[in-house]
Every structure is written in structure tokens, then in C-alpha cells.
């Protein structure tokens, strides 16, 4: 058990591998509370507070561990207030917490990687230097994150307002997967530094091409990018341009790309439904440096003068019997 705590200071015995200075630089204050004290101060049931904590991806905390700050109390209060104000429902509050965690966890890993690359061995060996660096950089990163978030918020809101029909989560869109061929071989043959460079180049190229053609990247998973567009022509242009740029990029292996058009359920920043599954399956059977589309997308593109579609007949893919696929190329 930790020792007693005075009213204004951290509890004696609260230890952190970060060290008090790094901890304060990153969190804004020292650890002060147990999980029960957080729940009490936020005026929520302890079980609910624990459920939200674990939904955010954090490990189980013992009853006597002092690992929480005033910011933790305020975060729980804020989420509960959103429910009380009926901005979100009780049923989805853990989903909201989980989605925030998944986004921020990846961002945090990248940022700590920056700390390590800049500080080198001092990152672990000299906590005073690490604390100074974190104290200087963390506010800048926080400000930049806020700017990017607001820009995306405005862009998404504008897109929603211009959508025809209802504001339902499900709408007709085009889903695309772009997958690096031979990724297993890359892992085996390249060093970690070389592999990281290739993945960075792939993601940078994909992000640029998708943005240029009014698409949106939903997520990247190592060797694969999942993107979505609102129109068939934008999706086709993304697929063809990606293959052209990757094929001319030197070290990067070719891509397999699968596209499908149909109803898509958008939820908490991800996409679901049979259209997503069809695009994924088409990617798995596409040849290197090619793009396959399903029948719905082929129909939408057939009158477009810039593209050529060649039927490859029924395609045997898992869970989709008799799926018809078409090879997408630029018109000669």
C-alpha cells in the first residue's frame, strides 16, 4: 500500500518508471489518486470507471496503486457529462473511449519513437534530459494535433452536409484495398531500418495519391492501405495512379488492388459490410501491379472514357460464390 497523502501533494510511495520529472512533463502532474478515488471524485460507479479505463486500452490497476492524476478525473467527468447531455448514449461510451484509444495509441508510439531517435541512449539513461525534451516538445505536438483534428472535423462536417439523402451511417461508397506484394519476403530479407523506410515510402505515396483524388484513408495495417471514395472515378484514378507510382518507385514491390462499390457502414472511423469484404477478397486474388473491381463498380465505370474494363469471369473467393471481377486499366 502507498503511504499517506497530504491534501495538495502526491501520495508518498507513488513510483513510476518514468521518474517524477518525465511523468509531470508528459501528464501535466504527478500521480495522486487510486482508481477508487478517481471514481469518487468523478461521481461515477467504480465498475464504470474501470470499464472506461480498460476500453482505452490500459492495463488492470490494483486497488492500492496510485496511478491517476487530476486529468484522469476530468476525463471521466467529461465522458459522463456527454452521456448526461445525451450527446452520446451509455451503450456507446465504451466504444467512444476505445476509438479514441486506438487512434491516440498509434500516435503516441510514433511520437515516443521521435523522442528516442533524437535523444538516442539519453532517452533511457538521462531522465532529466528526457524530461526537458518532453516538456518542450509535448505542448507543440498537442497544438499540432488540435489543428489537424479541427481541420479534419471541418472537412468531415462539410462532406456530411453535402451528402444527398439522410445522415445515416450506411451509404453507397467505393472501398479500396492496396496491398504490397511479397511483404513476408521483405520482412525476411530487409533490416528493420530498411523495412521501416519502405513502409514509410509506401504510406507516404498512398496518402498523397488518395488525398489528391478526393479519397480518404481509413487505416493502414503494415503492408496494406484501406481507403474509401464517394465516386467510382475517384476510386479508379487512385488505384491506377498508385500502381503507376509504386511501379516507378524503385525498391517498393508492386501492389495488388481490389475495389468494390456498394453500401458501407461507417462507424467510429472504420468501415464495415459486405462491400468491404468483397474489396478485400478481390485484393487477395489480384495479380501484382493490377487492380480488380467488382461488377457494381465496373457498371459505374463502363461509360467513362478514361478506363478500360476486362471481365475475368466468376472468381472463386472465400464466402463469395460466383463473384464476378473485372481488370481495371487505362483506356488506350
pLDDT, tens digit, 9 for 90 and up, residues 5-48: 444 444 444 455 677 788 778 887 788 899 999 999 999 999 88
pLDDT at residue 275, rounded to an integer: 95
- Assigned C-alpha cell, 249: 518507385
Share of the chain above pLDDT 90, in %: 31
- Looking at the whole model, is its pTM more than 0.85? no
Q: What pLDDT digit, counting tens, does each position of 94-120 carry?
A: 888 888 887 788 788 878 888 888 888
Is the model more confident about 158 or about 289? 289
CA angle 202, 206, 211 (to 5 degrees): 155
Q: Do strands 290-294 and 307-317 pair parallel, antiparallel, or not at all (unpaired)?
A: unpaired
Rounded Cα distance between 150 and 108, Å, is: 19
Angle between helices 70-84 and 93-119 (to 10 degrees): 150
Among 85-99, 121-135, 185-199, which range has the highest average pLDDT?
Answer: 121-135
Tell me the torsion sign for CA atoms 72, 74, 79, 80.
positive
Amino acid at each position: 500500500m502507498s503511504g499517506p497523502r497530504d491534501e495538495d501533494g502526491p501520495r508518498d510511495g507513488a513510483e513510476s518508471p518514468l521518474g517524477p520529472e518525465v511523468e509531470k512533463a508528459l501528464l501535466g502532474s504527478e500521480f495522486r489518486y487510486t482508481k477508487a478515488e478517481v471514481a469518487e471524485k468523478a461521481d461515477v460507479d467504480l465498475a464504470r470507471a474501470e470499464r472506461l479505463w480498460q476500453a482505452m486500452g490500459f492495463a488492470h490497476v490494483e486497488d492500492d496503486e496510485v496511478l491517476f492524476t487530476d486529468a484522469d478525473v476530468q476525463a471521466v467527468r467529461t465522458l459522463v457529462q456527454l452521456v448526461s447531455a445525451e450527446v452520446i448514449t451509455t451503450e456507446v461510451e465504451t466504444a467512444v473511449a476505445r476509438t479514441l484509444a486506438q487512434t491516440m495509441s498509434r500516435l503516441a508510439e510514433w511520437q515516443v519513437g521521435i523522442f528516442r531517435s533524437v535523444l538516442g541512449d539519453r532517452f533511457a539513461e538521462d531522465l532529466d534530459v528526457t524530461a526537458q525534451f518532453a516538456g518542450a516538445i509535448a505542448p507543440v505536438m498537442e497544438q499540432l494535433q488540435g489543428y489537424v483534428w479541427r481541420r479534419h472535423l471541418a472537412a468531415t462536417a462539410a462532406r456530411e452536409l453535402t451528402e444527398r439523402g439522410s445522415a445515416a451511417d450506411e451509404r453507397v461508397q467505393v472501398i479500396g484495398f492496396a496491398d504490397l506484394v511479397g511483404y513476408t519476403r521483405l520482412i525476411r530479407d530487409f533490416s528493420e531500418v530498411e523495412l521501416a523506410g519502405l513502409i514509410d515510402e509506401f504510406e507516404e505515396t498512398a496518402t498523397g495519391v488518395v488525398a489528391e483524388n478526393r479519397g480518404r484513408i481509413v487505416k493502414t495495417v503494415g503492408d496494406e492501405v484501406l481507403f474509401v471514395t464517394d465516386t467510382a472515378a475517384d476510386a479508379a484514378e487512385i488505384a491506377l495512379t498508385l500502381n503507376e507510382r509504386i511501379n516507378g518507385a524503385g525498391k517498393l514491390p508492386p501492389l495488388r488492388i481490389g475495389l468494390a462499390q456498394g453500401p458501407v457502414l461507417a462507424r467510429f472511423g472504420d468501415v464495415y459490410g459486405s462491400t468491404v469484404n468483397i474489396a478485400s477478397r478481390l485484393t487477395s486474388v489480384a495479380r501484382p501491379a493490377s487492380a480488380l473491381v467488382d461488377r457494381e463498380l465496373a457498371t459505374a465505370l463502363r461509360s467513362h472514357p478514361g478506363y478500360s474494363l476486362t471481365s475475368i469471369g466468376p472468381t472463386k473467393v472465400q464466402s463469395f460464390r460466383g463473384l464476378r471481377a473485372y481488370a481495371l486499366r487505362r483506356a488506350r
